[in-house]
Structure 1
Amino acid sequence: MNLFKKKDLNKLLSERIEREKTYGFLDLFLLGIGAIIGTGILVLTGIIASTQAGPAVILSFLISAVSAIFIGLCYAEVATSIPNSGSIYGYAWVVLGEFPAHLLGWTMIGVYILSAATVANGWTGYFAALFHDFGINIPAQLLKSHSQGGIVNLPAMLVVLLIAFILTRGSKESKAINNFMVGLKLFILLLFIVVGVFYVKPSNWTPFAPFGSSGVFAGAATAFFAYLGFDTLATTAEEVKDVQKTLPKTIILSVLVSTTLYIVVCLILTGITSYTNLNKPEAMTYVMQLVGQHKVSMIISAGSIIGILAVILAFTLGASNITMAMSRGGFFPNTFSKMNDKSGSPNFSIMCIGLITSLFAGVLDVKALANLANIGSLIAFATLCYIVVKFRKMYPDNIGGFKVPLYPIVPILGIVICAFLILNLDFMSWVSYALWLVIGSLIYFAYSKKHIYN
């Protein structure tokens, strides 16, 4: 049994399905922005500031941004060299072998599912806040998971299923809806910044780092979740126009634009009120209410309800694309890679991912979900940085239209930063990830090993 049997690069590339090229530069950039600017800025900023970093949350996001840029550069190189929808799963199969490929693909499916569930979980706070503004109070038991004192987070479950349904309509339709949602989200962020800057009191930034450097780094480990969206772009490679130029530009630009917005919003949030008051998923609407801007608060709630859906869409799309690609390689049953005749989408994969994500969104709390997603993504991204180095040695003549600058310093620093952030995650995150790997290994030995197409 050869667990590390590698896939021939040319054979993998020849097995790509010719899908319609629907994503241009603006579409892909908006998909990246839609995935990155979501729960990180609308939900996690206040929670991280209150519980881990204080006003120094801006440093937490900066540290995470640096690691995201290094990883994004590595993604851009391998994604243009191996422009398949499977993303890291496909890269690992060529460079590391089939068992590592299976575990990394399985890891990223889990990361995307947990990320979408986290977003949906945080989305409920804005949904309930908007209804409250109109005098409608949804029973608290239906807004929280059992671990948070409720029964189930019902709105989160339902919205995930709605997004999965939208994705089954095809990439053209889902792309148009995504672009609208992202545009709306950018509008509410700019509205918050323009209004909120007049209520900032610099005295609220003192003490700047109340939890010390350890809090800043722990916050960075949690905040890394906010940048996960850029990697979903690589999973769309088969549907991108001029992939060699478009993909690298959109990955890097989406991270830079998102980082700028994160820092500005964090400064305003912690400047309007003490960081101790921000331990809530709807922190932006909360601070607007504090300063008497109730109409702005309602607009932000309404816009967030729609805008956050773009994040769920991007992660669900990423998970279903990897599932489809792994099915195409024999790691999962053929049903998962069957394309719907009308929409041209892997609808069975999309609905399965939607159902699992819906369940997680309903029963787990937001911070636990984010940390679980973080440990899997950080391990996968550290491996990706190593894959860049290994791929260059194995296929020096097959490098795509983009090369990582300052090679090999950038991929090495990517590995180091990922390892550092991993060490700042809690023990239960390790236990949960180990359990996820055990489940993935059982699937590999029970099914995948017998059906893989080498």
Structure 2
Amino acid sequence: MSIMRTKSIEQSIRETDEPEYQLKKRLSALDLTVFGVGVIIGAGIFTVTGRAAQEYAGPSIIISFVIGAVCCGLAALCYAEFASTVPVSGSAYTFSYAALGELVAWIIGWDLLLELMLGASVVAQGWSQYADLFLGQLGFDWPDALASGSHFDLLAFLLVATITLIVSLGIKESMRVNLVLVAVKVFIVLFVIVAGLGFVKASNYTPFIPPSQPTKAEEGLTAPLIQVLFGIEPVTFGILGIVTGASIVFFAYIGFDVVATTAEEAKNPQRDLPIGIIASLVICTVLYMAVAAVITGMVPYDQIDPKAALASAFESVGKGGYATLIAAGAVAGLTTVIMTLLIGATRVVFAMSRDWLLPPVLGKTNVGTGTPLRITISLGLFIALVASLTPIGKLEEMVNIGTLAAFTLVSVAVIILRRRRPDLQRAFKVPFVPVLPIVSALVCFYLMLNLSVETWLRFIVWMAIGFVLYFFYGHRNSRLSGRAKEGEVPSMTST
């Protein structure tokens, strides 16, 4: 049986009408835009901005954000075409099933699980740190034995458990909570921009592009793969520093792809999904650039605190009290990120189980809530345990490599599907095909090469586990297999 077997788009859409696997169509363009803003604006705006400016680009980090947005926008256009053409849960997994075949679809689905589950765990730990800081500023001392970095991070566990409960109630209920928290987060970001403008000094923007400086190269497993393969030495500041800064802040944009995982729950996916994906990216780009301009204008770039850029910037101008408000914004901001990542992960597993690549019993939706409860509770528990018990450290890079791998394959898939199915009605089309998708794929792959050898090795191990699962279960039990055609539904123990 060929591992390159593909499932037609028409078949994917037909399967969305199966009663036991049917999701409720309740999301509008506004819901999807808020969903996207909720997951994109997270720890990045509170931490990445300062670190990238201080270490790589100086005031020209503003240009880095533009470059990062353009690069991310290329992939966003590809996602928008697929999401409007194939309005089925699963995002890149579902798209690639139709264009690249079952094996590649499994690989992308496995990548997405890495991105979404590990991403939610990492963000939950970051939330715990900000929540601990926020509680301390309010005069409440959280026990060290249960704080972030301890053997059991209770705050992170309780947060994920609460979010899991909310997500289990239904997609619209989750979106109501998300809307409130996103509003709080955006208000804090706007407050930082407006309040900071009064303390901006024009002299801090000089030099706008600091002179280029060589920097110490990493060695061994921590070295970027591009350095090991091609001997390219790292450089900070100057034009190359702007490009390096763009590769750093690029990851602050990651998240718009999660919008595509809810395609099946959109009221009018052909119109609303492209709006949600592109609008959320544009809104976040404007906010990121404004924050970068304010921070580098308030504090000389070489004096920015990379760990707490926003809070320290206001402390440097005698407004330390604003740190409490910024911490509150971070707490609200990271909460929405975890919620959207959990929703995205459940929809990917839902799509894979509906295709019988995973046990189909997992994906059955609850009649009352219209959500896959088994998947939601299982993933929520897993994420809560990882967040509370695991010292994740550098595993954040694993989120990035999984995401970029998916971005690369989706870009390629746009070209392939255009050639295989020119007859499809596409509500949104990527312009300048095949040039633009090729550029998107090359940019994403280049950014993957900038990740460390250590990250690549971990990624290979994760993919090896995925291949074992696919060939021992998914390949033999999928809907496209001989067993499925004979009407045999695989069980949890099928091999």
Q: For the superposition of Structure 1 and Structure 2, which TM-score range results when normalised by the shorter chain? A: over 0.9
Match of 1:27 in 2: 31
What residue in structure 1 maps to residue 225 of structure 2? Answer: none
The code of the aligned residue for 1:198 comes to G
Residue matched to 1:433: 459
- The alignment yields a C-alpha RMSD, in angstroms, of 2.2
* Distance across 2 between alignment mates of 1:406 and 1:163: 41
Distance 1:289 1:337 in 2: 50
8 Å Cα contact 1:221/1:425 also seen in 2: no
Q: State the 1:282 CA deviation.
A: 4.1
Q: Does 1:261 align with 2:287?
A: yes
Partners of 1:205 and 1:393 lie apart in 2 by 49
Amino acid at match of 1:320: T
Check whether the contact 1:42–1:283 (CA below 8 A) recurs between aligned residues: yes
2:273 to 235, 247, 259: 247
Residue identity in the other structure for 2:25 = K
Which whole-Å CA distance do the structure 2 matches of 1:135 and 1:50 have between them?
Answer: 32
Task: Report the CA distance shift for 1:360/1:278 in structure 2 as closer, same or farther (over 3 A).
Answer: farther
Deviations, residues 226-271 of structure 1 (Å, cap 9, x unaligned): 2222111111111111111111122111111111111111222233
Aligned counterparts of 2:302 and 2:120: Cα–Cα separation in 1: 27
Give the match for residue 392 of structure 1: 418
C-alpha displacement of 1:116: 1.9
* Secondary structure at the counterpart of residue 292 of structure 1: coil
Q: 1:403 aligns to what SS in structure 2?
A: coil
Aligned to 2:486: none
Change (3 A) 1:47 1:365: farther
Please state how far the C-alpha of 1:90 moved relative to its aligned partner: 1.1
Distance 1:276 1:309 in 2: 31
For 2:12, the equivalent position in structure 1 comes to: 12
How many matched pairs? 449
Deviation at 1:143, TM superposition (A): 4.2
Structure 1 position 329, deviation (Å): 0.3
Which of 119, 124, 134 matches 1:120?
124
Deviates more, 1:378-387 or 1:12-21: 12-21
User: Does 1:312 pair with 2:341?
Assistant: no
1:88 is the counterpart of 2:114:
no
Give the equivalent residue in structure 1 for 2:188: 188
Q: 1:49 to 1:139 in 2, by over 3 A?
A: farther
- Provide closer, same or farther for how the CA distance between residues 426 and 105 of structure 1 changes in structure 2, counting only shifts above 3 A: same
1:137 Cα offset (Å): 3.5
Unmatched segments (≥5 aa) in structure 2 = 214-235, 481-495
Q: 1:3 — aligned with what?
A: 3
Post-superposition offset of 1:6: 1.1
Q: Which moved more, 1:114-123 or 1:224-233?
A: 114-123
TM-score, L = length of structure 1: 0.92
Correspondence for 2:254: 228
The correspondence of residues 3-402 of structure 1 with structure 2, limited to 5 A, is 3-17=3-17, 18-139=22-143, 142-145=146-149, 150-205=150-205, 208-209=209-210, 211-212=236-237, 213-276=239-302, 278-279=304-305, 281-362=307-388, 363-365=390-392, 368-402=394-428
What letter corresponds to residue 129 of structure 2 in structure 1? G
Q: Are the structure 2 counterparts of residues 233 and 287 from structure 1 closer, same or farther at C-alpha, using a change threshold of 3 Å?
A: same
Could you report, residue by residue, the CA deviation over 1:371-418 in whole angstroms, capped at 9, with x for unpaired residues? 211111111111101100000111111142111112222111101211
Q: Residue deviations 1:62-109, cap 9 Å, x none?
A: 222111111111111111111100111111111111111111011011
Name the CA shift for 1:372/1:48 in 2 (closer, same or farther; >3 Å): farther
Q: Which moved more, 1:314-323 or 1:409-418?
A: 409-418
SS in 2 for 1:401: coil
Deviation at 1:144, TM superposition (A): 4.2
Contact preservation (8 Å) 1:329, 1:452: yes
Which runs of 5 or more residues in structure 1 are unaligned? none
CA contact (8 A) 1:392 1:399 kept: no
State the alpha-carbon separation in 2 of the partners of residues 199 and 360 from structure 1: 41
Deviation at 1:19, TM superposition (A): 2.5
User: Aligned partners of 1:447 and 1:93: how far apart in 2?
Assistant: 17
Counterpart amino acid of residue 118 in structure 1? V
Q: What is the TM-score of this pair, normalised by structure 2?
A: 0.85
Q: Is the 8 A contact 1:222 1:374 kept in 2?
A: no
CA contact (8 A) 1:113 1:315 kept: yes
Say whether the 8 Å CA contact 2:39–2:336 is kept in structure 1: yes
How far apart in 2 are the matches of 1:141 and 1:60? 40
Q: Distance in 1 between matches of 2:172 and 2:304?
A: 39
Amino acid at match of 1:72: A
Q: From the superposition, tell whether residues 375 and 53 of structure 1 become closer, same or farther in structure 2 (CA, over 3 Å).
A: farther
Taking a change above 3 Å as real, the CA distance of residues 162 and 215 of structure 1, as seen in their structure-2 partners, is farther
Q: Secondary structure of 2:255's partner?
A: helix
Asked whether the 8 Å contact 1:164–1:351 carries over to 2, the reply is: yes
Contact 2:16 2:264 in 1 (8 A): yes
More off after superposition, 80-89 vs 132-141: 132-141
Shift of 1:195: 0.6
8 Å Cα contact 1:126/1:301 also seen in 2: yes
User: Could you say what secondary structure the match of 1:137 adopts?
Assistant: coil
Contact 2:115 / 2:399 at 8 angstroms: preserved in 1? yes
- The 1:348/1:291 distance shift into structure 2, 3 A limit, reads farther
CA separation in 1, counterparts of 2:474 and 2:148?
A: 37
Aligned partners of 1:130 and 1:302 also within 8 Å: yes
Match of 2:434 in 1: 408
